């Protein structure tokens, strides 16, 4: 549930990709708590997505769970169409779905490359393309979830490249879509405690400790830390912001 009682997203229709867990789930909850109708996209975690929807509905919000694997271009159109058919024209797109697979340069293969680029870059582009066909004529907001590793991280050359691409796409689309009153911004988290980060073994590791030591605010992030910034970018409170890369990292930089 939102940390605030602000209902500044009343009447908004939001599609959040990769929203069955982690940052995406927190964003879906936050947008709904502020009044938006939310489509919770998931790839394989149907039970988790339906749990998020149930939580939103229990709090008086509107939500549906919609399956689509963004690595499969054929699944993207139906995802967007179901969202628009259920709730009306889309005003908010949160391109959150993403995957990562770290490894040294010696381990990079075409499969390793395409696996990440197909979701993190091509999937983002095709989802945006499809969403624009169903966007509110008055405009709205697109928030691309990037990462501070866009500047480069050892053993993450391909993942860093995908997130660098996201920042570039954000700048290009902000220019292209501005005349349609559609704002496009990148929200780039630092290390955030999610299910995926736990599964990767980062929590409690030396990497976490070093990250906290190098973070001015002295801790890693929580999903809600990102969700509240995403809600701001989705709202009319950020009506004069577009083409921006916002680092939500507690001050940590790479």
- Structural domains in the chain, CATH included, are 13-247 (3.40.50.720)
- How many C-beta atoms lie closer than 10 Å to residue 68's C-beta? 24
Which pTM value belongs to this model? 0.96
Report residue 192 as tokens. 């955030």
Q: Which of 159, 173, 182, 183 is catalytic?
A: 159
pLDDT digits (tens, 9 = 90+) for 84-141: 999 999 999 999 999 999 999 999 999 999 999 999 999 999 999 999 999 999 999 9
Could you report the per-residue pLDDT of 22-61, keeping only the tens digit for each?
Answer: 999 999 999 999 999 999 999 999 999 999 999 999 999 9
- Would you report the helix, strand and coil content of the chain in percent, each value rounded to 5? 50, 15, 35
Catalytic residue list contains 159: yes
Residues 6 or more apart in contact with residue 110 via CB below 8 angstroms: none
* Cα dihedral value 216, 101, 76, 188, nearest 10: 10
Q: Collapsing DSSP states into helix, strand and coil, what is residue 187? A: strand
All residues at 6 or more sequence positions from 213 whose CB lies less than 8 Å from its CB, including other chains: none
């Amino acid at each position: 549930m939102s940390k605030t009682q602000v209902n500044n997203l009343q009447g908004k229709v939001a599609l959040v990709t990769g929203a069955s867990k982690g940052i995406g789930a927190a964003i879906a909850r936050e947008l709904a708590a502020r009044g938006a109708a939310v489509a919770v996209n998931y790839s394989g975690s149907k039970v988790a997505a339906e749990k998020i929807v149930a939580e939103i509905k229990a709090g008086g919000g509107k939500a549906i769970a919609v399956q689509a694997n963004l690595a499969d271009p054929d699944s993207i159109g139906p995802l967007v169409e179901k969202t628009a058919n259920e709730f009306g024209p889309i005003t908010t797109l949160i391109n959150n779905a993403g995957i990562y697979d770290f490894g040294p340069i010696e381990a990079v293969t075409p499969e390793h490359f395409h696996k990440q680029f197909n979701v993190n870059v091509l999937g983002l582009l095709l989802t945006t393309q499809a969403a624009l066909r169903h966007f509110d004529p008055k405009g709205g907001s697109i928030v691309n979830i990037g990462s501070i590793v866009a500047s480069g991280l050892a053993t993450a050359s391909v993942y860093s490249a995908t997130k660098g691409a996201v920042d570039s796409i954000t700048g290009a689309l902000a220019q292209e879509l501005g005349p349609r009153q559609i704002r496009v911004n990148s929200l780039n988290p630092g290390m955030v405690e999610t299910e995926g980060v736990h599964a990767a073994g980062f929590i409690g590791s030396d990497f976490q400790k070093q990250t906290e030591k190098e973070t001015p605010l002295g801790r890693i992030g929580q999903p809600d830390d990102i969700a509240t910034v995403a809600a701001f970018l989705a709202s009319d409170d950020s009506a004069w912001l577009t083409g921006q890369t916002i680092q939500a990292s507690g001050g940590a930089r790479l």
